[in-house]
């Protein structure tokens, strides 16, 4: 066997060992969080290293449709069960799902060692275009710049999307900038935001092999 082939084989074997080593040292990033108030009862199960499989029963089909985008495009396995006071309106349920998802994300991330930390995505859907940029910084902060062309999508109040993301950001302790860059169809606009959120989250939570388990912060804490 020629010498260069041997060297190549050695490099491949070494790469394989590094892969196995990274996988072994990473604990499972899976968590289940249950949250109960007088207004809602919510259980979120999440696997940050999933394949995009979801089981969603929030009582709000449009929100289920959006959470499905987060799972699919974030490659996160996501199970959400919610019993909310929908007889009043969807406000408490949507906000509390954002809160519980945020708690689950933070808990599942653990020490944050070796992750990429930052994530961003631009997502178009026909005429609509949105951008989400996030930092798993440990500091809650939401910049939400979205002008919906309509007040409702079906019977869903579009103001509630802000409540969802505010709840998420405060409890996942992330900095997030959401910008709707253009769009005429409210369904398209929301869908681009949730898809971009999923994509940006996927980028930020992913383990970066070059980080070699180091915390991506010069401060030493996130």
| 77 versus 191: smaller Cβ distance to Mn ion | 191
Residues paired with residue 31 on neighbouring β-strands, in sequence order: 46
* Residue 187 beta carbon to Mn ion: minimum distance, rounded to whole angstroms: 6
Site map 169..198 versus Mn ion, x via CB under 5 A: ----------------------x-------
| 47 versus 58: smaller Cβ distance to Mn ion | 58
* Nearest residue relative to Mn ion (C-beta): 191
Return the SS3 of 60.
coil
| 100 versus 192: smaller Cβ distance to Mn ion | 192
- Whether the CB-CB separation of 132 and 177 falls below 8 Å is answered with yes
| 173 versus 188: smaller Cβ distance to Mn ion | 188
Q: Which residue has the tokens 């491949």?
A: 12
* Residue 190 beta carbon to Mn ion: minimum distance, rounded to whole angstroms: 8
Q: How far is CA 42 from CA 9, 65, 94, 103, in A?
A: 51, 17, 10, 12
* Residue 64 beta carbon to Mn ion: minimum distance, rounded to whole angstroms: 11
- Whether the CB-CB separation of 33 and 100 falls below 8 Å is answered with yes
* Residue 72 beta carbon to Mn ion: minimum distance, rounded to whole angstroms: 12
| 163 versus 191: smaller Cβ distance to Mn ion | 191
DSSP 19-58: HHHHHHHSPP-EEEEEEE-SSEEEEEEEETTS-S-EEEE-
How buried is 123 (Cβ within 10 angstroms: 0-12 exposed, 13-18 middle, 19+ buried)? buried
| 95 versus 191: smaller Cβ distance to Mn ion | 191
* Residue 125 beta carbon to Mn ion: minimum distance, rounded to whole angstroms: 8
- Whether the CB-CB separation of 142 and 176 falls below 8 Å is answered with yes
- Alpha-carbon span 106 to 81, nearest angstrom: 19
* Residue 191 beta carbon to Mn ion: minimum distance, rounded to whole angstroms: 5
- Total residues contacting Mn ion by CB under 5 A comes to 1
Residues 53-72 that bind Mn ion (CB under 5 A): none
Q: Give the binding site for Mn ion (CB under 5 A).
A: 191
């Amino acid at each position: 066997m020629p010498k260069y082939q041997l060297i190549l084989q050695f490099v491949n074997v070494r790469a394989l060992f590094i892969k196995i080593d990274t996988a072994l040292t990473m604990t499972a990033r899976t968590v289940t969080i249950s949250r109960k108030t007088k207004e809602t009862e919510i259980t979120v199960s999440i696997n940050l290293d999933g394949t995009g499989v979801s089981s969603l029963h929030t009582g709000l089909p449009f929100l289920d449709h959006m959470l499905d985008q987060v799972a699919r495009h974030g490659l996160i396995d996501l199970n959400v069960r919610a019993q909310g006071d929908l007889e009043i309106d969807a406000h408490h349920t949507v906000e509390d799902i954002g809160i519980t998802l945020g708690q689950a994300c933070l808990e599942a991330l653990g020490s944050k060692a070796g992750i990429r930390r930052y994530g961003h995505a631009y997502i178009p859907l026909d005429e609509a275009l949105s951008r989400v940029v996030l930092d798993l910084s440990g500091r809650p902060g939401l910049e939400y710049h979205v002008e919906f062309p309509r007040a409702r999508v079906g019977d869903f109040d579009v103001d509630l999307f802000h409540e969802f993301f505010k709840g998420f950001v405060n409890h996942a302790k992330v900095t997030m900038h959401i910008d709707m860059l253009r769009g005429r169809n409210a369904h398209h606009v929301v869908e681009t935001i949730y898809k971009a959120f999923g994509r940006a989250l996927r980028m930020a939570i992913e383990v970066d092999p070059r980080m070699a388990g180091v915390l991506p912060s010069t401060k030493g804490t996130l």
